[in-house]
Chain A
Amino acid sequence: MNEFAVVWQHRDMIVTGFENTLIIVALGATGALVLGALLAVPLMARQRAIRAAATAYVDAMRCVPFLLFVYLIYYGLPSLGLRFDNWSTGIAALVLYNSAYMGELLRAAWADMPHEQIEAGYAFGFSGLQLFRRIILPPVLLSALPLIGNQLIQIVKDSAFLTIIAVAELTHEATAMQTTYFVPFASFIAAVALYWVTCIGIEGTVGYLNRFAEERR
Chain B
Amino acid sequence: MHAMAEKASPMPMVEPIAQPVVLDVNGVSKSFGANTVLRDISFKVHRSETVCLLGPSGSGKSTLLRCINWLEEPDGGTVLLGGRRIGVRPGTNLRMTDRDLAAIRTRIGMVFQHFALWPHMTVLQNVMEAPVHVLKRDKREVRKEAEALLRRVGLADKMDSFPARLSGGQKQRVGIARSLAMKPDLILFDEPTSSLDPELVGEVLTVMQDLAREGLTMVVVTHEMSFARDVASRVVFMDKGQIVETGNPDQFFRTPQTERARQFLARYAARDR
Contact = CB atoms under 8 A, between A and B. Distances in A.
Interface of A: 114, 116-117, 119-128, 130, 134-135, 138-139, 142, 215-217
What are the 4 tightest A-B residue pairs by CB atom distance, in nearest-first order?
Answer: A116-B116, A125-B106, A120-B116, A124-B130
A59 to B, nearest CB: 30
A123 B69 contact: yes
B253 interface: no
Given A124-B134, A126-B134, A135-B118, A215 B102 contact: no
Contacts of B114: 114, 116
Contact of A217 (B101, B119, B182): B119
Interface residues of B, number: 31
B139 interface: no
Given A123-B109, A130-B134, 15 more contacts: A114-B116, A120-B110, A122-B71, A122-B105, A123-B108, A123-B110, A124-B110, A125-B102, A125-B135, A127-B98, A127-B101, A134-B133, A215-B164, A216-B120, A217-B119
Contacts of B103: 125
B176 to A, nearest CB: 13
Contacts of A121: 118
Contacts of A117: 116-119
A123 to B, nearest CB: 4
A134 B162 contact: no
Contacts of B134: 124-126, 130
A95 B106 CA distance: 39
Interface in B61-111: 69, 71, 98-99, 101-103, 105-106, 108-110
Contacts of B106: 124-125
B262 interface: no
Contact of A216 (B129, B164, B182): B164
Given A127-B102, A134-B129, A215-B164, A120 B118 contact: yes
Contacts of B117: 117, 120
* Max chain B C-beta neighbours (<10 A), residue from A121, A125, A134, A138: A125
Nearest to B188: A123
A116 B106 CA distance: 17
27 contacts: A114-B116, A116-B114, A117-B116, A117-B119, A119-B71, A121-B118, A122-B102, A122-B105, A123-B105, A123-B108, A124-B178, A125-B105, A125-B106, A125-B134, A125-B135, A125-B182, A126-B130, A126-B133, A127-B98, A127-B99, A134-B129, A135-B118, A138-B120, A139-B118, A139-B119, A142-B119, A215-B164
A12 to B, nearest CB: 45
Contacts of A122: 71, 102, 105
Contacts of A123: 69, 71, 105, 108-110
Nearest to B134: A125
A128 B133 contact: no
* Max chain B C-beta neighbours (<10 A), residue from A116, A120, A128, A215: A120
A215 B108 contact: no
A119 B112 contact: yes
B137 interface: no
B122 to A, nearest CB: 9
Contacts of B115: 116
Nearest to A115: B116
A107 to B, nearest CB: 18
Contacts of B112: 116, 119-120
* Max chain A C-beta neighbours (<10 A), residue from B103, B115, B120, B130: B120
A4 B192 CA distance: 69
B165 interface: yes
Given A119-B71, A124-B105, A216-B120, A130 B99 contact: no
A92 to B, nearest CB: 32
Contacts of B102: 122, 125-127
